[in-house]
């Protein structure tokens, strides 16, 4: 029976292959398990306390952060800090997985939209438990409150940013349209983008309809907010319909970018109509707008967001936070690290504006003279708004990060003329209610 | 040889009737389990357990942070009755399967036929056509595709098409083309199948005066039908699970206007962006059942059009 022989000859090979696969699988699961038990790695080399500190950012931020951490280790010889970083999207997913597995790093950088979810999931330490290790005396009370959930301080704001109308300086000036001024209203903004489109042949701005951030500024300008204090929706279908009708009309007139351009927005400045040379202005956060400098030949200028009839709408938003894991083995040392990163003058000088303009008020003044280039532009822009803006809202509720995507998607249906503004608004509000209920 | 076989059969039947009497039987069984253990462990820990957990999660509300909350069939009812975006994802996926799979198989067959009749350089062309299948699943090619079909991209500049990936009516086609382009794997299988068809059949047919087209319809297609069927089943299953191209081409959003919101993309969105793991699990189970059903239907219809050479023996 020849078949018999054949079978014998391939059997061992299959087994070997399976064994290899299984071994690989076991290695993978082992490393996962090792990762999982990492949080108990309380004290490591030479009896030192070992802390894990993770954050998102770029190589420049990495170099400066490492320098600051080295200084911290020098001042606290009993503590060793292991840092790791990645891009925002990867960071967000990795942190979520770690937190879900009970393995959150001792100290971590957090986004506004993460706080509520992590705090309510029991991942974050209440800073009130370690009052002696952290000094918050130099923080603006309104900004500090953004790190609170249910009255407990789960996160400390590290830097602040604010929305801006960023425009192609040369093109706007050449068009002869009056330059944006502080306190301009949304209808003045609309007139300006219409006029810009007429005179330059290019849309005056990115279609703001897809941006939840722009909508929030507009909404606050009308005395409302995205969310109420008890984490429900702070606006109605009518409000959203009005906003989308406003944007949709401008788009139909060609005053703002067409759907084909708007749909390519992905959070990078390279894919904005302004960055692609297809519009005169964009609305964006101030610090990331530095990317336009390399893309827009005539340079860019930062102008305030349009305001409502009697209130500005715009606000200083904490651009990132620091938090400590609730189940860290070393709460005191972890909080001390947070305190160092946010309050130490030497650390501040090293870090500069790499995470935005510091929230600590005396440090902000201390680093100001040393700022260069776009850091200085952002600093001056923020200084020009100082005292004019309302307090920021509390941290958005857990469902918000999904809703931000939904917002852009629903507006896609409007800008491709597949839904009316009202239909899309109803869609959004239905989804938002479901999202916030769960 | 014969004696060995008889001996084996005898031992086997003895083992079957009276296992206890056989010396070392238990030990051998134990050895088998030892050797099997890596696989069994792998299957249990990495496949069966996650599947069981996923089935359980599909009846819960689970956001990764708080413990799963039992909600019964709510995920399923919500999916079918309250979620317009779910149905848009179903529509996009079905449209994609119906466009991409036949186009890809047709192209694979045509190229395989061309290669078969080629005398020289077959090896080179076979590799050249196969290469995209190796590269195609990668993120980088999908990004190149996006750049090609973007507005101001190469295709737009050459043919003035406008940006396909930015137009709801066309984006899906751009993604389908990316799949069609990766026709290498089915092509290689077609080529192997074509080479199995006895040349006498064609010689006899041409003696009888049958045209090339007639020969294709009456000899090639029936003789190749098992291979066609195999490719059809495989590519259909793959098409239902398409993810990477749509993810890259639409920047993870399934846009424009949800036109490339494929099922798996929406599943990913629900699970990892919106943190509704329960809902995503429910979606995964529905997909599993649908793929199973579609495959079953394909197998059932295959009885009417797939011919096996050994059929005469039955």
Which tens digits make up the pLDDT trace of B46-55? 999 999 999 9
Which candidate, A182, A141, A147, places its Cα nearest to that of A164? A182
| A102 to chain B: closest CA residue | B65
* Element housing A375 (H / E): helix A373-385
DSSP string, A399-428: THHHHHHHHHHHHHHHHTTSS-HHHHHHHH
**pLDDT for the residue numbered B156:** 73
Q: What percent of chain B has pLDDT over 70?
A: 88
Kindly tell me the burial class for residue B314, based on how many C-beta atoms sit within 10 Å of its own C-beta (0-12, 13-18, 19 or more). exposed
Higher pLDDT, B64 or B59: B59
DSSP B166: G
pLDDT band for position B137 (cuts 50, 70, 90): low
| Stretch B131-160: mean pLDDT | 75
Is the pLDDT at A2 greater than 70? The verdict is no
Instruction: Specify the pLDDT at position A205.
Output: 92
Query: How far apart are alpha carbons A207 and A260 in whole angstroms?
Result: 11
Using a CB-CB cut-off of 8 Å, the residues of chain A touching B276 are 438
**Structure confidence at residue A3 (pLDDT):** 36
Which chain A residue lies closest to B249 (C-alpha atoms)?
A264
**Is A260's CB within 8 Å of B1's CB?**
no
Question: Would you call B39 and A22 a contact, using CB atoms and an 8 Å cutoff?
Answer: yes
CB of A409 within 8 Å of a chain B CB? The answer is yes
CB-CB under 8 Å, B274 with A402: yes
| Contact residues on chain A for B151, CB-CB shorter than 8 A | 260-261
Instruction: For chain B, say whether A29 makes contact (Cβ under 8 Å).
Output: yes
The tokens for A286 are: 């101030």
Cα(A187)–Cα(A169) distance, rounded to whole angstroms? 21
Q: How many CB atoms lie within 10 A of CB B33?
A: 10
pTM of the model: 0.77
pLDDT of residue B212: 86
- In this structure, the number of other CB atoms found within 10 A of the CB of residue B156 comes to 18
| CB-based contact B275 A118, cutoff 8 Å | no
Q: What is the pLDDT of residue A91?
A: 85
Cβ distance B38 to A22 less than 8 Å, yes or no, reads: yes
Q: How far apart are CA A364 and CA B281, in angstroms?
A: 48
- Strand, coil or helix: what is A283? strand
Q: How far is B210 from chain A (nearest CA, A)?
A: 40
Q: What is the mean pLDDT of residues A120-143?
A: 84
Asked if pLDDT for residue B25 goes beyond 80, the answer is no
Reported as a pLDDT band with limits 50, 70 and 90, residue A114 is confident
pLDDT band at A60 (very low <50, low <70, confident <90, very high): confident
Contact A263 B257 (CB under 8 A): yes
Contact list, A435 vs chain B (CB under 8 Å): 274
The neighbouring-strand residues paired with A23 are: none
Residue A14: per-residue pLDDT:
38
Chain A residues inside the 8 Å CB shell of B275 = 96, 117, 398, 402
Which residues touch A388 (CB under 8 Å, ≥6 apart)? Answer: A182, A312
> Residue B285 pLDDT > 50, yes or no?
yes
Report the pLDDT value the prediction gives residue A160, as an integer from 0 to 100. Answer: 86
Question: Contacts of residue A418 in chain B, CB cutoff 8 Å?
Answer: 168, 257
Which spans in chain B are helix H? 2-17, 25-42, 49-57, 74-81, 84-116, 122-136, 139-149, 154-159, 168-181, 184-196, 199-207, 212-215, 221-240, 244-249, 263-268, 277-305
Sheet holding A281-285, edge to edge: A281-285, A163-168, A300-303
- Flag whether pLDDT at B5 surpasses 80: no
Please, which pLDDT band fits residue B281 given cuts at 50, 70 and 90? very high
Percent share of chain B, pLDDT over 90: 31
The pLDDT of residue A268 is above 90: no
Mutation target for A interface from B37, B63, B270: give the one with most A CBs within 10 A.
Answer: B63
Q: How confident is the model at residue B141 (pLDDT cuts 50, 70, 90)?
A: confident
The per-residue pLDDT for B2 is 41
Is the pLDDT score of A17 beyond 50?
no
Name the 3-class secondary structure at B79.
Answer: helix
Cβ pairs bridging A and B (under 8 Å): 102
Residue from A120, A263, A396 whose CB has the most chain B CBs within 10 Å, to mutate:
A263
Q: List the single residue in B with minimal CA-CA distance to A117.
A: B65
Q: What is the mean predicted confidence (pLDDT) over A355-360?
A: 83
The ipTM value here is 0.72
Q: Residue A399 has what pLDDT?
A: 80
Contacts of B139 in chain A (CB under 8 A): none
Strands A79-86 and A49-56: parallel
Helix A212-221 and helix A237-253, axial crossing angle in degrees, nearest 10: 110
Give whichever of A283-287, A392-396, B155-159, B294-298 has the largest mean pLDDT: B294-298
Return all residues near B213 (Cβ < 8 A) that are at least 6 apart: none
Tell me the C-alpha to C-alpha distance, in Å, between residue A283 and each of A78, A184, A286, B296.
Answer: 46, 14, 9, 53
Q: Which chain A residues contact residue B251 at CB under 8 A?
A: 264, 266
Q: Give yes or no for A401 touching B (CB within 8 A).
A: yes
Beta carbons of A184 and A177 less than 8 angstroms apart: no
- Give the mean model confidence (pLDDT) for residues B247-266: 82
Radius of gyration of chain B (CA): 26
Which among B45, B63, B254 has CB closest to A29?
B45
Interface mutation vs chain A, best among B252, B269, B275, B277, most A CBs within 10 Å: B275
Write the pLDDT tens digit of every residue in B75-87.
999 899 888 889 9
Contact A22 B151 (CB under 8 A): no
Cβ proximity of A261 and A278 under 8 Å: yes
Computed over every residue of chain A, the mean pLDDT equals: 83
Give yes or no for A427 touching B (CB within 8 A): yes
pLDDT surpassing 80 at residue B20: no
């Amino acid at each position: 029976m020849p078949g018999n022989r054949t079978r014998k000859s391939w059997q061992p090979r299959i087994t070997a292959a399976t064994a290899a696969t299984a071994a690989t699988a076991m290695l993978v699961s082992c490393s996962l398990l090792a990762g999982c038990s990492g949080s108990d790695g309380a004290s490591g080399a030479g009896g030192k306390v070992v802390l894990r500190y993770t954050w998102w950012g770029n190589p420049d931020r990495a170099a400066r952060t490492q320098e600051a951490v080295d200084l911290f280790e020098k001042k606290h010889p009993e503590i060793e800090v292991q840092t790791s970083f990645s891009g925002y999207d990867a960071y967000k997913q990795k942190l979520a997985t770690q937190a879900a597995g009970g393995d959150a790093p001792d100290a971590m950088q957090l986004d506004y939209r993460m706080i509520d979810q992590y705090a309510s999931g029991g991942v974050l330490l209440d800073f009130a438990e370690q009052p002696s290790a952290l000094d918050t005396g130099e923080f603006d009370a309104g900004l500090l409150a953004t790190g609170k959930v249910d009255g407990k301080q789960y996160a400390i704001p590290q830097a602040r940013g604010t929305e801006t109308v960023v425009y192609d300086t040369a093109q706007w000036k050449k068009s002869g349209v009056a330059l944006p001024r502080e306190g301009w209203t949304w209808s003045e903004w609309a007139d300006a983008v219409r006029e810009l489109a007429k005179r330059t042949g290019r849309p005056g701005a990115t279609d703001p309809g897809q941006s939840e951030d722009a909508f929030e500024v507009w909404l606050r300008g009308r005395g409302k907010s995205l969310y109420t204090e008890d984490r429900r929706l702070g606006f109605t279908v009518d409000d959203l319909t009005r906003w989308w009708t406003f944007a949709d009309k401008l788009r139909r007139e060609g005053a703002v970018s067409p759907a084909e351009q708007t749909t390519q927005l992905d959070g990078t400045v390279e894919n904005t109509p302004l960055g692609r040379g297809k519009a005169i202005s964009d609305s964006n956060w101030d610090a990331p707008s530095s990317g336009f400098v390399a893309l827009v030949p005539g340079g860019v200028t930062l102008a305030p967001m349009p305001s409502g009839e009697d209130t500005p709408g715009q606000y200083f938003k904490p651009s990132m936070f620091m938090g400590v894991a609730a189940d860290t083995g070393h709460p005191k040392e972890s909080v001390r690290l947070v305190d160092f990163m946010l309050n130490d003058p030497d650390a501040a000088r090293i870090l500069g504006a790499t995470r935005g303009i510091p929230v600590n008020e005396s440090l902000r003044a201390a680093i100001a003279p040393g700022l260069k280039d776009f850091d200085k532009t952002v600093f001056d822009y923020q200084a020009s708004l100082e005292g004019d803006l309302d307090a920021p809202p509390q941290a958005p509720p857990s469902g918000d990060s999904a809703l931000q995507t939904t917002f852009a998607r629903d507006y896609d249906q409007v800008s491709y003329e597949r839904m009316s503004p009202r239909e899309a608004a109803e869609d959004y509000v239905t989804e938002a209610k479901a999202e916030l209920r769960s | 040889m014969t004696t060995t076989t008889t001996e084996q059969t005898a031992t086997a039947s003895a083992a079957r009737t009276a296992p206890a009497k056989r010396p070392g039987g238990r030990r051998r069984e134990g050895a088998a389990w030892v050797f099997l253990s890596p696989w069994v462990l792998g299957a249990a820990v990495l496949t069966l357990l996650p599947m069981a957990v996923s089935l359980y999660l599909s009846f819960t509300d689970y956001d990764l942070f708080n413990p799963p909350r039992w909600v019964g069939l709510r995920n399923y009812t919500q999916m079918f009755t309250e979620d317009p975006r779910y149905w848009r994802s179903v529509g996009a996926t079905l449209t994609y399967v119906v466009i991409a799979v036949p186009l890809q198989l047709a192209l694979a067959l045509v190229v395989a036929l061309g290669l078969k009749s080629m005398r020289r350089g077959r090896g080179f062309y076979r590799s050249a056509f196969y290469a995209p299948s190796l590269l195609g699943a990668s993120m980088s090619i999908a990004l190149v595709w996006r750049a090609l079909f973007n507005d101001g991209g190469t295709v737009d500049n050459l043919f003035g098409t406008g940006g396909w990936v930015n137009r709801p009516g066309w984006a899906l086609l751009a993604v389908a083309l990316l799949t069609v382009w990766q026709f290498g794997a089915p092509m290689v299988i077609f080529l192997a199948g074509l080479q199995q068809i006895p040349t006498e059949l064609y010689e006899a047919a041409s003696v009888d005066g049958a045209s090339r087209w007639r020969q294709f319809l009456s000899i090639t297609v029936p003789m190749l039908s098992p291979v066609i069927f195999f490719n059809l089943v495989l590519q259909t299953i793959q098409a239902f699970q398409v993810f990477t191209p749509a993810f890259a081409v639409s920047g993870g959003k399934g846009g424009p206007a949800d036109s490339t919101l494929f099922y798996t993309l929406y599943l990913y969105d629900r699970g990892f962006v919106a943190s509704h793991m329960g809902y995503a699990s429910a979606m995964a189970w529905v997909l599993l059942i649908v793929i199973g059903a579609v495959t079953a239907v394909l197998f059932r219809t295959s009885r009417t059009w797939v011919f096996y050479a050994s059929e005469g023996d039955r």
